[in-house]
Amino acid sequence: MMKKDLRSMNLHDMEQLMQSFKQPTFRAKQLFDWIHNKAVTDFYEMTNLGNQLLERLVKETEISTLQFIKKQVSKDGTTKYLFTLKDNNYIECVLMPYRGTKSKQRNTLCVSSQVGCAMGCGFCATGQGGFKRNLTTGEIVSQIYTVNNNDQLRVGNVVFMGMGEPLLNFANVINSIRLLNDSHGQNISMRRITISTCGIVPKIIDLANLNLDIVLAISLHAPIDKLRSQIMPVNKQYPLNKLKEACLYYVEKTKRRVTFEYALVDNFNDNKKHAGQLAKFLEGIFCHVNLIPVNPIGQLSYKRPDKAKIYTFLKELSNHGIEASIREEKGADIDAACGQLRGKVVE
């Protein structure tokens, strides 16, 4: 018999499980607290459930855990974790601690949603390795729980910017977000959760219809179809006019600002004309642009523009009334920056 993973279950699922075990309903709340708040991994730590229930849980359920393989710490404090899953696949996630003034201290975890990625973006290390499988809900939340437990901290912000395309693992990603948001679990505010997508148009519409208070980030990276299709194969299926329609719908439905990620690549998408084209594309969309100097990936020849070009691009956007900022580089020295996750042991 396949054991059911408790970390993939919400309160309702646990209530049904208790019913099937002929246990009182309040047991579900207790179990939820152990699994999603205290995040224990050993059944025998669950001291208030009674032996009879414990025995059944041990026999018929499991708690998905990630096997810690290694951790690398960047000089800026960014930490990359490599884990293995039960089927020996690898995933990575990245912790970005911000240590500003006390009120601003926060731990952001960049989590993976899939093993690998099928979308094949030209500049992304994850995309080069192909797609293996979706992560389960339990494997997604386990990334947060494991980092919390290992490093005795509390992740307060979650960004789906690790390996994989979150909107192609829609149900599990949404379930994990609802679990992380649950006030009896980690109680992470929806506003502190970001989904980043390469632009899966029908799924953006589905997400809009759920009307969650999360942040939606779109990986745009080029302002016209001709350029975008060169680096992002997804653009052939969902070109920019369709993507724009979906973004407009998203803003209309949720009243929330969309973030656009734009990786600046030297002599590809970084001149004044491109900035003008970008402003034109964004016209009418309530948004913010993050400019990310592209991170070097293995042998691929994507180069960062120099500082002067980056600031000229920013200035040009601002001249067109577009709000933008340059994203601070994190963890590039340990290959933990955007697009550098491979999910492999690299010595």
| Residue 335 in the binding site for ligand SF4 (CB under 6 A) | no
- 1 exposure class (CB count in 10 Å sphere: 0-12, 13-18, 19+): exposed
Cβ nearer to ligand SAH, comparing 27 with 192: 192
Q: Are strands 90-98 and 79-84 parallel, antiparallel or unpaired?
A: antiparallel
Q: Which residues have C-beta within 8 Å of that of residue 141, sequence separation ≥ 6?
A: 7, 36, 176, 179, 180
Q: Which stretch binds ligand SF4 (CB under 6 A): 10-18, 98-106, 115-123, 204-212?
A: 115-123
Min dist CB 127 to ligand SF4, Å, is 3
Measuring CA to CA, how many Å separate 291 from each of 128, 191, 218? 23, 21, 12
Give me the least distance between CB of 173 and ligand SF4, in Å please: 13
Q: Report strand pairing: 4-5 vs 61-62.
A: parallel
Q: Is 328 designated active site?
A: no
Catalytic residue among 15, 92, 165, 261: 92
Q: Which residues of the chain form contacts with ligand SAH (CB under 6 A)?
A: 117, 123-124, 161, 165, 196-198, 219, 261, 263, 292, 294-295, 297, 338-339
Of residues 23 and 172, the one with the C-beta less far from ligand SAH: 172
| Token code pair at residue 113 | 């949603």
220 or 251: whose CB is closer to ligand SAH? 220
Residue 76, C-beta contacts closer than 8 angstroms, at least 6 positions apart: 330, 331
Nearer to ligand SF4, 198 or 278 (CB): 198
Query: Closest separation between CB of residue 116 and ligand SAH, Å?
Result: 11
Question: What is the per-residue binding string for ligand SF4 in 195-214, x denoting contact by CB under 6 A?
Answer: ---x----------------
Q: Kindly state whether residue 165 participates in binding ligand SF4, applying the rule CB under 6 A.
A: yes
In the block, residue with structure tokens 């100097």:
293
Q: How many DSSP H helices and E strands does the chain contain?
A: 12, 14
Question: 335 — alpha (psi -120 to 50), left (phi > 0) or beta?
Answer: left
Instruction: Assess whether 338 carries a catalytic annotation.
Output: yes
**Would you tell me which residues interact with ligand SF4 (CB under 6 A)?**
117, 119-121, 124, 126-127, 164-165, 198, 219, 339
Catalytic annotation, residues: 92, 338
